[in-house]
Each structure stands twice: as C-alpha cells, then as structure tokens.
Amino acid sequence: MITELKLVNFRNFPEKVINNFQMENFIIWENWKWKTNILEALSILWNNSITKLNLEDMVKMWEDYFFIESKDDLGNSFSFYYSKEDKKRSYMVNNKKTIKKKFVESSHWCVIFSPIMMNMMYLSPSLRRDFIDESLRSSYKEYDELLKNYKKIVKSRNSTLKAINDKKASIEDIKFWDEKFIEKAAQIYEYRYKFINFLEESIINTKDYFSWKIDDIKFEYVTKIDKENIEESITQYLDKNLSRDIIIWRTAIWPHVDDFEIKVDNINLIHYASRWETKSVIIYLKLLEWIFIEKKTSKKPILIIDDLLSELDESHKDMLLKKVVYYQTFISNITEEKNTFYIKI
C-alpha cells in the first residue's frame, strides 16, 4: 500500500508531502484547485497516464525540473526526476539510481477511471484499442516496448509506400518492412488474444445489469485476421491490398485499426441498452481489467478514479465503490462521501 507522496515543482506545487494515505482515499478540493495534479503524479510513478501530456507541461512555471517520490508500507521508495532543460529523466528505487526497465518492473501498476471512459462504447475506436493496450501494458512489462516497435515499423512502411507512389522506391523495397510488420503484428495479436479470451469468457456476468431478461451477451473483437492462422492471414491481406496501400500511403489494416463491440442478443450494446446499462457494462469491463492485471502480475493494481463520481448517478457510484474496497484507491471528488477517509489538499 502507498503511504506517502512527495512533489517538488510539479504542476502548481512548489513542494508538497502527503503522508496519511489509507486504502480508500478521497482527494477533496474545489474544481479550480487542480486536484487531478495529485493523480497525475501518482500515475506517472505507476506506469500509466491520465492526460498523456508532455512531461514539460508538468514542470511548475518558472522552474526547470520536477521531482516525484512515493513510499509504500514495505519501506520501498520510488522516485522520478525530469529536467526541462535537457529533457533528462532519472529513476530511483530505494534512493538508488536505476534504468527505466528495472524501475517499471519493481514499481506498482495502476488502473485509471475517468469520465471519458464512460463514453468508450460511443466514441472513437481508438478509445477501445487504448483500453486493450493499456490493460496489456500493465499486465506484461514487455508489451509497451513491443507496441512502440510496431508503431515505428508502421511509420517506416507508410514512408516506403509513399516513396513507391512517388516513383522514388520500388515494390521490392516494401518486402523488408512487410516481414517486420508481420512479425510484430503477430506478436501483438498473441498478447491481445490473451486478454480478449478472458473478456469473452467473463462478459456473460454482466447479464444481471440489464433491466429485463436477455438471452446472450458477447464480447466481439473486430478484425480481418484469422485467429487460427495469424501470420498467414496478415501476409495474404498485405499482398492483396498492396496497390491500395501505395495509393493512400498508409497501412490500412491490423492492430492499429481493429475494434471491439459488445453484442446483446446479437445487437450492438449502444443500440440495445440504456445509458445506465451501458455504463454498468463499461464499469464491469474496467473491473475485468484490474482482475486480469492482478492474475498476470500477482500484484493488486492501484486504482485511480479521476472526477468520475460526479458523472455517475447514485446507483452506479455505489456499484463502483463496493467493488473497489479490496484495492487501494485514489479518488478525486468535490464533496465528501459518507463513511470514507478523505484528504483535503
């Protein structure tokens, strides 16, 4: 359990130490007081991101660096330093400098709830892909590097496609990037299907959240690959669509364009269910995320709930708070909740 957080030159804090954390922590502050800053600091240390902002934006105005440190009840400390001037990042575990990989392996992981999450099924497919990829990043330390390498290969393949279209490269030049693309894409699918299979098996438990009896609910991953022959189906599709890719200068298929749907009696959830029922299913998906992470890492993830309670009605709020009781939770809120420990910053 995290017991203390220290901030130096982070956002609007010149220096701040909070050392009275409990299992359930409500961070109470007026809207304009930047209570999300506390959660941002925690998420940086715990290998996730709320806002995905540039670290430079998190340095206090007129300062050159920020420093964050957390301590847990086992006596461990985890520290992160960022220099605005030279873009330097430094990691420390128990006051000893270390590399990022070892820092990530030894530190905690977090699962983040935010208001935009409640629109995951209504908005861009990128939100749904992010849900899958963030879950895998938190469950498998090597997945983050794999995803970065895959994106670099897609970028290089797209540049080669443009060069071919501009008559500055030949068709033969794309074969090098196709081989790398197939290799990394297949690896990503191997990881994704571990999580997808878990979701497919578990989603049935959401049937109780509907106001009337439903016969079936399914998690469906939307992709053009053949799950049983991943590399072969990617190869065939790349060959078949090469001319189109050259014209549009873009790799238009595979992990970076896939999606998923929740089907209720063979109808898309958002066309079948009420907003209340859809929110219930989304909350349950996040619940499955932290269960999956705990199973794969043998560690309980820390939960960060940022300004979400104000978006929920009392029944959903109660539903969420009852499920998080066994995990250390940090919740930003405007008002105090009954029978809970809260921190006024």
By the 8 A CB rule, do 235 and 180 touch? no
Residue ranges of the chain assigned to CATH 3.40.50.300? 1-109+300-345
- Helix-then-strand count for the chain, H and E: 10, 14
Q: What distance in Å separates the CA atoms of residue 138 and residue 2, rounded to the nearest whole number?
A: 18
Alpha helices in 203-262 (DSSP H): 230-240, 242-248
Q: Which helix (H) or strand (E) holds 183?
A: helix 173-202
The candidate with the shortest Cα–Cα distance to 300, out of 71, 109, 76, 131, is: 109
CATH superfamily placement of domain 1-109+300-345: P-loop containing nucleotide triphosphate hydrolases (3.40.50.300)
CB-based burial label for 25 (10 Å; 0-12, 13-18, 19+)? buried
Q: What is the pLDDT of residue 340?
A: 47
CATH superfamily placement of domain 124-298: RecF/RecN/SMC, N-terminal domain (1.20.1050.90)
Q: What is the pLDDT of residue 115?
A: 83
Q: What distance in Å separates the CA atoms of residue 181 and residue 168, rounded to the nearest whole number?
A: 21
Q: Which residues of the chain have pLDDT under 70?
A: 29-34, 48-53, 334-345
Token digits of residue 166: 């501009």
Dihedrals φ, ψ of 27, to 5°?
-95, 110
3-state secondary structure of 151: helix
Q: What is the pLDDT of residue 51?
A: 53
Strand runs labelled E in the chain? 2-10, 13-18, 24-28, 65-72, 77-83, 89-93, 96-98, 110-113, 217-222, 259-264, 267-268, 302-306, 329-333, 342-344
Q: What distance in Å separates the CA atoms of residue 72 and residue 85, rounded to the nearest whole number?
A: 31
Residue ranges of the chain assigned to CATH 1.20.1050.90? 124-298
